Amino acid sequence: MHNYKDDRDDDKEEIFDEEEFYDDDDDVKEKYAYLLEDEDEDDKENNDLDDIKENKRSKRGNKRRGSFLSTLLEWSITIVAALLISFLINKFLIFKVYIPSESMYPTLKVKDQLFVTKMYSRDSIQRGDVLVFFSKEFNELLIKRVIGLPGDDIIVKASGEVIVNGEVLKEDYVVQKDDTAIFDLEFKVPEDEYFFLGDNRANSLDSRYWNDPYIDFEDIRGEARVIIYPFSRIRILK
């Protein structure tokens, strides 16, 4: 009986020679080294690309963080500078006041808001200026019109006229004189002090009625310059 199995094994030996196909490991590595080198180069390039992308992402992140911190710092400096300037302006240059009464009507009305410039020089005070000052008698800030300067002789007539150093004072800003008095009032303004009246003479508690009729220069805070509110009444004061 013919052994087909042996024939198949013989064919296998002819077609597939294990010793011929399988070289030593060293031979395989040497024979295909270029493929391994290409693969290593690809891995290295991929790693380099990954590193570059990571570096770019890192730089973008750092740039964004740096930009945010820079913006935050700029805003902080701006806000601090604005607050400092506001403080210095309010402390040394101007401040705002609110009108609570009708004593200066019609020049000033209730709820008017004004900008007042700080007062530093006696020479800058002129008769007719609207000034803000601190009243020790009432322990508060008041606003009136200065009528008497240091050394002036003032007479407030029962008819409402005001005479300064022998001359009748022209007061276009007074629309309602106080003619209810039964006698004249006379005043001699001391040095370095001032005499004040409200424009609404019939409804103003001023130098005519104070226990001490005069205000010291050191208590004068500033001159009212402009009405800033309500908007319909914005104007420069005269």
Give me the active site residues, please.
Answer: 103, 144
Beta carbons within 10 angstroms of residue 205's beta carbon: 14
Phi then psi for residue 17, to 5 deg, are: -95, 105
Helix H, strand E, coil C: the string for the chain is CCCHHHHHHHHHHHHCCHHHHCCCHHHHHHHCHHHHHHHHHHHHHHHHHHHHHHHHHHHHHHHHHHHHHHHHHHHHHHHHHHHHHHHHHHHHHEEEEECCCCCCCCCCCCCCEEEEEECCCHHHCCCCCEEEEEECCCCEEEEEEEEECCCCEEEECCCCCEEECCEECCCCCCCCCCCCCCCCEEEECCCCEEEEECCCHHHCCCCCCCCCCEEEHHHEEEEEEEEEECHHHCEECC
Distance in angstroms (rounded) separating the CA atoms of residues 209 and 229: 30
